[in-house]
Amino acid sequence: MLEYYNYIKALHLIFVITWFAGLFYIPRLFIYHIEASQKASPEREILVKQLQLMTKRLWYIITWPSAVLAVLFAVWLLILAPNFLQQPWMHVKLTFVALLIAYHLKNHVIFKQLQRNEVNYTSKYMRVWNEGATLLLFAIVFLVILKNAFNWIFGVVGIIVLGILLMLGIRLYRRVRDKNPEA
């Protein structure tokens, strides 16, 4: 079965990429939905209906299947190479993956609320929330690539700096958008 290891690893990586694509885009659709819900009728109803359809297709046709397949191929890889479970970096990676799954499930809760036209978050909150997948992607990729060479101090500082830069980017975008609503 080890001769198939690289094929399984390639499939795992493909589905991780498509999973993240969905996780990057779904909060953006949430933002549009929240902002559309504040518009006047009939524009509000037209936009909300279209955004609900787009979100539903993205969530159930791309994001959920990709998440399930990425996890299944990951488990298969660990079954084929159980020695990875003995390495400390893998424990940390699996912790980040657990956070990624929690982030995915929270997006599912938000998705269900918006499908029922329940708007419980502001577009500003969702812009910050949108960066959760980015932070997790950086953490997981650097951990997988650097493995034991991963310097925890620099890694933690790097993720904090990335988070600060993302927040500053959001603020800058908001200022530009407030000055020019077409941006």
| Alpha-carbon gap, residue 75 to 116, rounded angstroms | 34
12 is in an annotated binding site: yes
Helix (H) or strand (E) holding 48: helix 43-57
For residue 47, give both structure tokens: 């936009």
Structure confidence by residue, pLDDT tens digits, 71-107: 999 999 999 999 988 988 888 889 999 999 999 999 9
- What is the Rg, in whole angstroms, of the alpha carbon atoms belonging to the chain? 19
Q: What pTM was computed for the model?
A: 0.84
The answer to the question of whether 91 is labelled as a binding residue is no
* pLDDT for residue 167: 81
What is the C-alpha to C-alpha distance for residues 64 and 55, in angstroms, rounded to an integer?
12
Per-residue pLDDT tens, the chain, 183 aa: give them. Answer: 678 999 999 999 999 999 999 999 999 999 999 999 999 999 999 999 999 999 999 999 999 999 999 999 999 999 999 998 898 888 888 999 999 999 999 999 999 999 999 999 999 899 989 989 998 998 888 888 887 655 666 666 777 787 888 888 888 887 888 888 766
Contacts of 124 (CB under 8 A, 6+ apart): 174
The residue with tokens 């975008």 is 173
Give the whole-angstrom CA distance, residue 167 versus residue 162.
Answer: 9
Tally of helices (H runs) and strands (E runs) in the chain: 7, 0
